[in-house]
Structures are given as structure tokens and as C-alpha cells.
Amino acid sequence: MTRLASLPAVTAPPVSGFTLVRNAIRLDFPVEASIRSILPLCDEVVVNIGKSDDDTLDLVRGIDDPRIRIIESEWDFSGDHRVLADETQRAMRACRHPWGIYIQADEVLHHDAVPLLRDAIAHHDGNSAVEGLLLHYRHFYGTPEYLATCRGWYPYEVRVVRLGDTWDIRSYRDAQGFRVGASDRKIRVKRTDAWMHHYGWARPDPALVEKFKTHQSIYGGPAQEDLETVRLAWQPGIRRYSGTHPEAVTGWVAQRLGSLEERVFPREWRWQHLRDHATALVERVTGRRPFEFRNYRVI
């Protein structure tokens, strides 16, 4: 794993940030915090803003930083569920620098990650075998005071990638990760000690209602028009978080604290939970998560 203390002092190349967002206010995305959290690392941040039913455009403009470049677009939801990857790709193509950090509108980079990533980019810039960098993830669930940790939640994901036609790195499927070239080869990455926080499942009820309706409009499924409230399913591995939140999101977090019991159904045993408990035990003993899907190849 790449450690800050082990890296020689090297000047980092310029970095582009890129993200996409639509209806950030209706969906209660912490997108302002998302953008602000990567600005200290970036020489520019490209924000692809889809045509919205709220004041998302004004919200992003209000950040008022000259490094932010806004692309106004109209997203096509009639295709094969690739709209998020396509719009991520649009933002990637607009980037001007050789490295990029991708952040989704419900993610916030921890402030401690900035120097780690800057040094890692500088260290690996001359090694063409390294196409991206891997970050740790914390997934908040129900409220920003609790984490979901069972096997269904990815513990790592690629968020720093090389940019430009030479590398042909592409947003993959639902834009969770990246692949390389027309063959969708897994991207080659190095690990880092940097942490990304994911707040998508820690938003209050009205935002989750909108989330489910938006998910249905993109991926299909039963109509959600009459949905008025959402309560999340209990799952093994929910635990209280005692660490720090990124500085950029502390105000957003403070306004969304609440009772876990009000937002998550009571504990209910299901046979599938036996698998979750078993894999968690193996992970605690061995440090490895059994049957973990990896959208990348660590080198």
C-alpha cells in the first residue's frame, strides 16, 4: 500500500476534478461539499449539470471558485441504463489535465486524503503501468452516525485515474468505476490510505423517496409514483461511527442527524444474513473479504 511517509518529494502534475449532478436539492445531495472537498487537490473541477427541476445550477455557481467549469447538459434516459456512465464520460472528456479525481454527488473526500493523493499521483506519474488509484470507502447508512459494513458494500473503489485519449480509460456501466478500452479491461491501480465518505444512504426520508423514483426512471422496475416514505432494511454490520467527517460536509451532517430506529427497520433475521456473518468473520481473521467483486486490478 502506498504510504505518504515512504514517498520521495516529487512535484505533482496538475489534476482535474470531475463530477456530474442533477436535481441535487430535491435529492439532498451534499454536492457543494463534494466539490469543495476535492478543490484543494485540483487545478480545475468540471461539473456536468443535467437539466434539473430545482436550483442545482445556481447552487453550484454559488461556490464561486474560478477553478470550477460547468457543463450544462440534458441527459438521455431512453438508452440502455448507461446514462450515468455517458454523462461521467462527458465530464471526463472536458478535463484538461493528465490526472483526474472523480467524485459522485453523494460522496465527500476526507480532508486527510488530499496530501496522500497529491503525493501518490506525483509518485506514480512516471510509471505507465499505474492507471489509477484506489481509495477506502465508508458507507453511511440511515444517519451520518452509522456505517454499513457487510459484504454488499464495496470497501474500495477507483476514484483517481489518468486522463486523455492515450489511456482510453472509460466510465463503466453505472459509473461506479472505470475500465480501459473497448474490451473493458480492468484498470490497473495502486492502493492508497485515502478515504472517501459515501452519504447516499444517510439522507432523510424525503430524499430517499426521490432517490427510489429516480432509480426507477433510469433502470426501470415498478412505478414509484405513490411512494411517500422510505424506511431502510436492517442488515448485519451496522455500527456507530466514532471518527471524523470531512471538514467540507460537517454542516450538512449536523443538519441530518437522527434516530437510526426511525430510519431503519428493526433487526430481523434472514437466512442470507448467515452468509454475511460468515464472510465478516473470515474478513476479521484473514484481513480479506471472501468473494469480493473487484472492478480493478491491484498491481
Predicted pLDDT at 213: 77
The mean pLDDT of the chain is: 89
Lookup: cell for 32: 457543494
Of the candidates 110, 111, 31, the one whose C-alpha atom is nearest the C-alpha of residue 63 is 31
Residue 145: pLDDT above 80?
yes
Instruction: Among 172-176, 185-189, 196-200, name the one with the lowest average pLDDT.
Output: 172-176
- What mean pLDDT do residues 270-298 have? 68
Residue 181, C-alpha cell as written in the block: 478500452
Residue 244: band (very low, low, confident or very high) from pLDDT cuts 50, 70, 90 = very high
Using the predicted structure, report yes or no on whether residue 193 has a pLDDT greater than 90.
yes
In this prediction, residue 271 has a pLDDT band, given cuts at 50, 70 and 90, of low
- Give dist(CA 153, CA 107) in Å, integer: 14
CA distance to 10, 106, 182, 191, per residue, from 30 (Å):
33, 6, 33, 26
Evaluate the CA torsion angle 91, 119, 30, 239 in order and state its sign. Answer: positive
What is the pLDDT confidence band of residue 285, given thresholds at 50, 70 and 90? low
Burial zone of 188 (CB within 10 Å; 0-12 exposed, 13-18 middle, 19+ buried) = middle
Which DSSP category does 202 fall into? S
Q: State how far the alpha carbon of 165 is from the alpha carbons of 42, 176, 207, in Å.
A: 20, 21, 37
Indicate the pLDDT class of residue 160, thresholds 50, 70 and 90: very high
Return the C-alpha cell found at 182.
473497448
Helix (H, G, I), strand (E, B) or coil at 238: strand
Does the pTM surpass 0.85? The reply is: yes
Enumerate residues 6+ apart whose C-beta is below 8 A from 192.
Answer: 1, 2, 113, 116, 117, 120, 133, 134, 135, 136, 160
The pLDDT assigned to 78 comes to: 81
Average pLDDT over residues 50-55: 97
Locate 29 and state its grid cell.
445531495
Query: What is the mean pLDDT of the segment spanning 20-45?
Result: 98
- Domain locations along the chain: 1-299
How many CB atoms neighbour CB 280 within 10 A? Answer: 17
Residues 6+ away with beta carbon under 8 Å from 215: 221
Which CATH architecture fits 1-299?
Alpha-Beta Complex (3.90)
* Helix or strand (DSSP H, E) at 213: helix 205-219
